Amino acid sequence: MLKLLKKLKKREWLMAALCALFVLGQIYFDLMLPDYMSDLTVLIKTPGSTVETILQTGLQMLGCTLASAALAVACGFLSAKVAAGFSYAVRADVFDKVAGFGQEEMLDFSVPSLINRTTNDITQIQMLVSMGLQIMIKAPVMAIWAVIKIINKSWELSVITLGFVLALFTLMILIVTIVLPRVRKVQRLTDDLNLVARENLTGINVVHAFNAEDYQNRKFDRASEVLMRTQLFNQRAFALLNPSVSFAMNSLALVIYWVGATIVSRIPAADMTARLTQFGDVVVFGTYATYVIMSIMMLVMIMMFLPAAQVSAQRINEVLGRKTRLLPGREEEAPEVGTVEFKNVSFRYPSSSGNILENISFRAEKGDTVAFIGSTGSGKTTLVSLAARFYDATEGQVLIDGRDVREFSFDALYDRIGYVTQKAVMFAGDIRGNVLFGESRGSGDAKAAEEALDLAQASEFVGKLPQGIDAPIAQGGVNVSGGQKQRLSIARALARKPEILIFDDSFSALDYKTDAVLREGLMRALPDTTKLIVAQRIGTIRNADRIIVLDEGRAVGIGRHEELLRTCAVYREIAMSQLSEKELGLTEGGIIE
């Protein structure tokens, strides 16, 4: 928690300090009331007291009450400002940190957990800061001040008050000790519940198609029931505190007045002045003792929020303290343009026992088209992910424009690359915003967007939309088809004007005609752009300058289409599973000349 509080700005610290002064002023006026009450009691019981004197004392009490209320309102306003500013700063830091995570860090933190940490966990801390600026200052100061006021009044009453305070503190410590581990469990269970809900919403069409509503409901109910039982235990434990404190407050007042009456009765009836003074002291003592218990009650309120906020702070610090493995270099320039080279590259995931890629080497010159094909799980996507530096190679080097990708700054590296993901990702907004997404060397104007859409074969369907390029895109692109999303995703990469285009199985959602027209357009319009293509279709890659065949992470064949049909059994098997011998130009003797 202390680490997070360092994120408060100077202005917010000043407001917090001013709020603390207001709280001290509030306590001062509150603790003056019992003294006025004692004076008022003596005045009422003293013969010859005038109404004006009694009224003056009453007005002084009213003034203290109004001053305390005004300071409480001002402190509440300032504490809300500080808490809101604090949560804004922490949320921005968490979001920025997560935005810099690589694939490895994202695997360690699930998406539902990161969402929960960015929203619910920060809200828990915000509530604690808002209440803490008032209560955590007011409660101990009021308790200590009240104790100082009553310490010399009566040792009997002081011992009674101390006994009640110790009993309440023992109960608080016991409950917090029992509940704290379960509060940590609640946060994990909330992550699990969010995971189930998110999976259900994301795959709602699959759920409907397989008639799995009841199955998903049972799955959600199980997660929800575990969370409910844990929460019920925590709330029932905390529910003991409030009635316990209320019972202690009323019982203490009863015992103080009962013992106080005994003390007053010891004074001779003839000494009326001493009796009145002692009676006033008992009244004042009872009020101050009640303030002590009220302070404990306020601490109880904080204790109900503190465990959850402490766990939330730990979870946020886990994100902020996580070191990102993919660190940017400093280089902006490179000795070459449009080249990609793998030098004896091997790679394994942190959780993997063996290499996913093994000793991969190839070089793509400016304007080359290099394709990758292989069975599912052969490492095609992983290979192009290394070129885009989503991961770093375990062994060997990956070079872009003749420089190791680890030496580039992120801006310099991604300014050179246009990446089209296997699953098309759309962002809420409009078509223009999705095509001109992010910063790049592209001009970023409407003309660049229209050119990219035309080259990606997306102009036809975009032109039919009522708002054209400004047509809205729903979250996740649910209002456009899979093929349309794919073409928009390709247009987004083209609009960057990159040196290197990476297509990670990006033509799979396109029909054969659109696929062929799009590839032909790319070759004609971008002859100097290097293209790395991951594909499953032989027809998509058969005209590539070089085809790399992957099998279980190894390059088992490198060459052109015709060459691989003769020399690579894996490639030949894939090709014959998709096209006939006639379409491939094969005879029993081999390639038809």
Region 389-409: what's the mean pLDDT?
91
Distance from C-alpha of 17 to C-alpha of 78, rounded to nearest angstrom: 10
Region 320-324: what's the mean pLDDT?
84
pLDDT band for position 36 (cuts 50, 70, 90): confident
In the predicted structure, residue 210 carries a pLDDT above the cut 90: no
List, in order, residues 6 or more apart from 323 with CB less than 8 Å away: none
Is-contact 30 68, C-beta < 8 A?
yes
Distance from C-alpha of 137 to C-alpha of 72, rounded to nearest angstrom: 13
Is-contact 290 159, C-beta < 8 A?
no
pLDDT band for position 404 (cuts 50, 70, 90): very high
403-441: burial string, b at 16+ Cβ within 10 Å, e else: bbbbebeeebbbbbbbbbbbebebeeeebbbbbbbeebe
Q: What does the block give as tokens for 290?
A: 């009640």
Cα 14 → chain centroid: 28
Span 156-181, pLDDT tens digits: 777 887 888 888 778 877 877 777 77
3-state secondary structure of 408: strand
Residue type, 175: I
**Percentage of residues of the chain with pLDDT beyond 70:** 93
pLDDT band for position 4 (cuts 50, 70, 90): low
3-state secondary structure of 57: helix
pLDDT band for position 530 (cuts 50, 70, 90): very high
Q: Tell me, what's the pLDDT at 103?
A: 75
Distance from C-alpha of 566 to C-alpha of 591, rounded to nearest angstrom: 7
Kindly write down the DSSP assignment for every residue of 197-217, as one continuous string: HHHHHHTHHHHHHTT-HHHHH
Write phi, then psi, for 526 (nearest 5 degrees).
-130, 60
Region 81-91: what's the mean pLDDT?
87
Q: Tell me, what's the pLDDT at 511?
A: 81
Region 241-256: what's the mean pLDDT?
79
Of the listed ranges 84-93, 482-491, 581-590, the one predicted with least confidence: 581-590
Q: Tell me, what's the pLDDT at 138?
A: 80
pLDDT band for position 6 (cuts 50, 70, 90): low
Distance from C-alpha of 356 to C-alpha of 347, rounded to nearest angstrom: 6
pLDDT band for position 587 (cuts 50, 70, 90): low
In the predicted structure, residue 362 carries a pLDDT above the cut 90: yes
pLDDT band for position 586 (cuts 50, 70, 90): low
Region 363-380: what's the mean pLDDT?
90
Burial of 526 (0-12, 13-18, 19+ CB in 10 A): middle
The radius of gyration computed from the CA coordinates of the chain, to the nearest angstrom, equals 37
Of the listed ranges 43-47, 334-338, 403-407, 479-483, the one predicted with least confidence: 43-47
In the predicted structure, residue 344 carries a pLDDT above the cut 90: yes
Long-range Cβ contacts of 20-25 (<8 Å, 24+ apart): 20/133, 20/137, 22/71, 22/72, 22/74, 22/75, 22/78, 23/71, 23/75, 23/133, 23/134, 23/137, 23/138, 23/141, 24/137, 24/141, 25/67, 25/68, 25/71
Distance from C-alpha of 132 to C-alpha of 138, rounded to nearest angstrom: 9
Q: Tell me, what's the pLDDT at 593?
A: 41
- The total of other beta-carbon atoms located within 10 Å of residue 121's CB is 25
Choice between 352 and 152, residue whose per-residue pLDDT is larger: 352
List, in order, residues 6 or more apart from 561 with CB less than 8 Å away: 538, 541, 542, 543, 544, 547
Q: Tell me, what's the pLDDT at 169?
A: 78
| Nearest residue to 40 (alpha-carbon basis) of 263, 290, 283 | 283
Distance from C-alpha of 582 to C-alpha of 577, rounded to nearest angstrom: 13
Distance from C-alpha of 341 to C-alpha of 546, rounded to nearest angstrom: 13
Phi-psi region of 429 (alpha: psi -120 to 50; beta: other; left: phi over 0): left
Distance from C-alpha of 6 to C-alpha of 22, rounded to nearest angstrom: 22
Region 293-305: what's the mean pLDDT?
75
Helix, strand and coil content of the chain, in percent to the nearest 5, comes to 65, 10, 25
- Secondary element (H or E) of residue 56: helix 51-99
Strand runs labelled E in 210-277:
none
Distance from C-alpha of 142 to C-alpha of 292, rounded to nearest angstrom: 7
Of the listed ranges 213-222, 289-298, 421-430, 582-591, the one predicted with least confidence: 582-591
- The total of other beta-carbon atoms located within 10 Å of residue 146's CB is 25
Write phi, then psi, for 396 (nearest 5 degrees).
85, -170
Distance from C-alpha of 453 to C-alpha of 281, rounded to nearest angstrom: 86
Q: What does the block give as tokens for 184?
A: 């940590």
Q: Tell me, what's the pLDDT at 592?
A: 44
Which domains can be identified in the chain, with CATH numbers? 2-320 (1.20.1560.10), 340-591 (3.40.50.300)
As a three-state string, the secondary structure of 161-189 is: HHHHHHHHHHHHHHHHHHHHHHHHHHHHH
Is-contact 386 345, C-beta < 8 A?
yes
Write phi, then psi, for 361 (nearest 5 degrees).
-140, 130
- The total of other beta-carbon atoms located within 10 Å of residue 334's CB is 20
Is-contact 395 342, C-beta < 8 A?
no
Burial of 330 (0-12, 13-18, 19+ CB in 10 A): exposed
**For the ranges 25-29, 120-124, 206-210, 381-385, the one whose mean pLDDT is highest:** 381-385
Cα 365 → chain centroid: 42
Region 183-198: what's the mean pLDDT?
80
In the predicted structure, residue 353 carries a pLDDT above the cut 80: no
Region 173-190: what's the mean pLDDT?
77
